[in-house]
Chain A
Amino acid sequence: MSAIVSVRGAVKEYALGAVKVQALRGVDLEVGEGEFLSIAGPSGSGKTTLLNLIGCVDTATSGVVQVAGKDTASLSERQLTELRLNTIGFIFQSFNLVSVLSVLQNVELPLLLQRRFSGKERHDRVLDLLGRVGLADHAKHRPSELSGGQRQRVAIARALVTRPQIVLADEPTANLDSVTGENILALMRELNRTERTTFIFSTHDAKVMAHASAVVRIADGRVLGREAPAAAQAEGH
């Protein structure tokens, strides 16, 4: 199994005034293609920081982060953005849909940015994905007209519309009730299987972890270890 993400000895320091906060203290992580990986840990453990490094929205203070075979430290700001656009999809805790755009327009946005497809191609792709997340009838709706779960489905469609290799999701169910969260996870898992897309998501919810193919535990900026989900679930209770 080839590694699509490879993090070695990653350290991330934040300067809070004169004090330096170490959010990551030397993280090692290998993620294989097609994995459905959960990053678990208590609040403040460094989950978001780690996802930021993998998602190329931030750079490590030291250590190596390789995404899709590229060393992110060697890439320019522009190139990092290109990498995000073409290789990575994002799902956010609070959905982050553009409120003035319709569901369809929100999902279309990354395709517009890619500038690779004609209007018809974009349209077909967006509708196909909306169908798969079960929102074909809501294409013309505004995000504000949707429920939280529906919004997150739109976000999933947006993350997948460019057919990225990796989808990152930072606590995708934190703002949803547990049933809806379950459904969202099930949907992600299904897409992970059908599209062969690698999913990395963070959570501190044991039920959510149960869907994962593997769980990486972190605490205090360090990886504690990689476990099978069943074990994690057992420990969570």
Chain B
Amino acid sequence: MFSTLRVLVQIAFRNLFASRLKTAIVGGIVFFGALLVTVGGSLLGSVTGGMARSITGTLAGDVQVYGASSKDDLAIFGGFGDQNLAQIDSFETLKAVVEKVPNVARVVPMGISGALVTSGNTIDLVLEKLRNAVRKETQGDRSPALLAEIEAQKEHVRQMVQVLEGEQKNLVALVDATKLTQEDRDNAMALARAASPQFWADFDRDPLNALEFLENKIAPQSTDADMLMLRYVGTDLSAFGRSFDRFRIVDGKPVPPGKRGFLFAKYFYEDRIKLRTARRLDKIREALSVKGQTIASDPDLQRMVHENERQTREILLQLDPTSTRNMTKLLRDELGSKETDLGRLLASFFAMDDASFERRYHFFYDRLAPMLELYRIRVGDTLTIKAFTKTGYSRSINLKVYGTFEFQGLEKSPLAGSVNLMDLVSFRDLYGFLTPDNQKEVARIEQAAGERAIDRAHADDELFGGDSKADAAQAPPAPPPMPKEAMPAVSAPLEKLHRDDRAARDYDPAELEKGVVLDAAVVLRDHSKVDQAIRDIGAATKRAGLDVKAVSWQDAAGIIGKLVMTFRLVLYLAFLVIFLVALVIINNALVMATLERVREIGTLRAVGAQKTFVLGMLVVEAATLGGVFGGLGAGVGALVVALLGAQGIPATSDVMNFFFSGPRLYPSLAPATVALAIAIVLVVATLSSFYPAWLAMRVSPREAMASDE
């Protein structure tokens, strides 16, 4: 048997080049098939691998556990807004059960939510500084330094008002008068008043009143403060850092245990919090240096340059009169211009091309940036997050921003860098959770309060020391929830007081374990055994009577996780179609080749080859073709992948950036992919040889005698 096979292979190898046409067609198809599978498989593997790492290594873990009676599916990277998830009352109990499952390395408590944050616009920030200074003054501080600061801030505000008034006039000039709304007219009147010398003359007599006018009527007109969509995970921050070992702090420091605090994802921080002009400069620089693009040839880069030229207001509003003068002088010298208007100077400074970019980029960061606030929210600032509880009540808390973080190897991944972190206790506050214990306490407070008649809506304020209108559903009977717009205005200072109070309050780290969570990330020891772990966790929690379910990171990641699977499916489908077509073509080529070889086959039969030998010969020949050219194709494919891996494939759009988990994809070769490629083409080549081999088997030895007419 073995010797027959050896003879077959021997003859098959000798016959490899029997028919040039056959070899060219079959070999060519097999070669490109193997190449395609190797390169395609490696690319997909790298994309999905990168996304998988972005998901599992950063937030989701390998398995997510969440309430089985949740109305929505857990979607960590899903759309904005909250999913309706059933809360898990005691993380401690869950953790104890899940940690006993053999493959489980760590269990991290979590809650995922998002909120709109108004990142105080530039005017607000300046007004706040002015208010603080004025407050000190009213408290009796008469130092020359303070008075000078007040004057400087006032000047800054006046300049801002001028910028806004200029824009307002432009608007009026553009739009015909009948189309102006009442709001436009009110805004114009307010600006006129704030710009008048009379207003500033009156300012010192009643600064608080004047400030309130500015805050309510002027600040909202500056639209540079957009609503920031902030997606965050509330977690045990120290456990999080231990469990996701790629995690590291970039700016600032970790939130100390027991402290409330917020950490920005570095990518998000750069992308959304940074001064947009600076961010665009960074992006252009990355495109020029990392991706090797040029401004001259890339419309996307040209667009960014134009935006920088046009959108100088963000910078102008930041500058007080002194800085304005300084920057004007700097730019006049740099540009050799006689222009006196800073807005125009900035516009021509930002009109960069490939030749001037590098110098101006450095000039911006070295000379201009020190006068600017590069980030709307700085490390060390306090961030106000206002979220709505499930029933529509608003809660807001102040959190100190301790720093920014990133995940090693995924610094450039938009996916990995899209979610921020906060301590779990603050998350629970924001979400309006009540554990059964808490609910009991609410009842106790109520009783104690007795005739104080705290309504239940305020009970959890009492509990958390907060300001919110509590979640009515948690403690019935409660007054019907009020529509969001009709929320009673709480006097601002009082609200602030509460918020600050809570932000400052420490918590007992044990609180993390005891309380409520929405979900838990499970990190496995052996990342490849996700399915087994899901079954084990499911069984363990069921035995413990916990109403939870365990899902894979793919399922938990929402749309993104499904995308990864869809990619795979689409690619495999494409492969299937390609190989079905290949099968037909190879089959035809082999049939033709067999017909050409009728005399040869007849001779073999006459000389003493059995039918089965002929059958085997053709199959082995096709398989040899498949193996040789498949191997070549896979080899060249491996080379291509290695080349791409060294060079990197540049992401030319944001979408690609997202899927590449960074500005370049560095595909790597998986040995399994090469094996798969060769296996597939071997199978296809072998299958395609069955019909021609069957035909060959039926060739009569008489064909050898037939004289060639």
Q: A residues near B, CB below 8 A?
A: 48, 51-52, 55, 57-58, 77-78, 81-82, 84-86, 90, 92-94, 96, 98-101, 105, 109-110, 112-115, 158, 162, 170-171, 174
CB of B74, distance to nearest CB on chain A (Å): 63
A110 to B604, CA, bound (A): 9
Q: Is the CB of B14 within 8 A of A81?
A: no
CB of B607 within 8 A of CB of A84, answer yes
Complex: how many Å from CA A128 to CA B14? 23
Query: B606: which A residues are within 8 A, CB to CB?
Result: 55, 57, 84, 90
Across the interface, which residues of A come within 8 angstroms of B702, CB to CB? 52, 57-58
Q: Complex formed: what's the CA distance from A17 to B609 in Å?
A: 30
Give the chain A neighbours of B600 by CB distance below 8 A.
Answer: 96, 98-99
The 9 A-B residue pairs whose C-beta atoms are closest, nearest first, are A85-B608, A57-B701, A96-B603, A100-B18, A112-B7, A84-B608, A113-B608, A57-B702, A115-B3
Q: Could you say which of B11, B610, B701, B704 contacts A112, with CB atoms under 8 Å apart? A: B11
A113:B14 contact, CB within 8 angstroms: no
Which of B18, B599, B611, B705 makes the CB contact (< 8 A) with A57? B705
- Measured in the bound complex, the distance between the Cα atoms of B11 and A100 in whole Å is 10
| In contact, A77 and B700 (Cβ under 8 angstroms) | no
> When chains A and B are docked, how far (Å) is the Cα of A55 from the Cα of B703?
13
Q: Which residues of A contact B10 (CB under 8 A)?
A: 112
Partner of A81 from B7, B17, B608, B704 at Cβ < 8 Å: B608
Min CB–CB distance B533 → chain A (angstroms): 54
> Shortest Cβ distance from A96 into chain B, in angstroms?
4
Check B603–A81 contact: CB distance below 8 A.
Answer: no
* Distance, CA A100 to CA B600, complexed state (A): 11
Interface residues in B, total, Cβ within 8 A: 28
Question: CA of A90 to CA of B704 in the docked complex: distance in angstroms?
Answer: 10
B15 contacts chain A at the CB level, 8 A cutoff: yes
- CB neighbours (8 Å) of A162 from chain B are 608
Given contacts A57-B704, A113-B608, 15 further A-B contacts (CB under 8 A): A57-B700, A57-B705, A58-B702, A77-B611, A81-B605, A86-B608, A96-B600, A96-B603, A99-B18, A99-B600, A110-B607, A113-B613, A115-B3, A158-B607, A171-B707
A52-B702, A112-B7, A115-B7 known; A94 and B607 CB under 8 Å?
no
Min Cβ gap A85→B in Å is 3
Report yes or no: B608 in contact with A94, Cβ–Cβ below 8 A. Answer: no
Q: What would be 5 A-B contacts, judged by CB atoms less than 8 Å apart? A: A57-B702, A81-B605, A81-B608, A84-B606, A100-B18
Query: Contact string, B494-512, partner A, CB cutoff 8 A, digits 1/0?
Result: 0000000000000000000
Interface centre among B10, B605, B608, B610 (most CB of A within 10 A): B608
- Beta-carbon contact of A94 and B700 below 8 Å: no
Residue of B nearest to A158 (CB): B607
B708 within 8 A of A: yes
Is A113 a contact partner of B707 (Cβ separation < 8 A)?
no
Question: Is A85 a contact of B607 with CB atoms below 8 Å?
Answer: yes
B4 at the interface (CB under 8 A from A): yes
Contact A48 B607 (CB under 8 A): no
Contact, CB under 8 Å: A115 / B607: no
Q: Chain A nearest CB: distance from B449 CB in Å? A: 101
Q: Which of B604, B609, B707 contacts A93 (CB 8 A)?
A: B707
B613: A residues at CB distance < 8 A:
113
Nearest-CB distance from A160 to chain B (Å)? 12
Given contact pairs A112-B10, A114-B608, A115-B4, A92 touches B704 in the complex (Cβ within 8 A): yes
For residue B3, which residues in chain A have a CB less than 8 angstroms away from its CB? Answer: 115
Q: Judging by beta carbons under 8 Å apart, are B603 and A98 in contact?
A: yes
- With both chains docked as a complex, state the minimum distance between the C-beta of B647 and any C-beta of chain A, in angstroms: 41
Instruction: Tell me the bound Cα distance from A54 to B606 in angstroms.
Output: 12
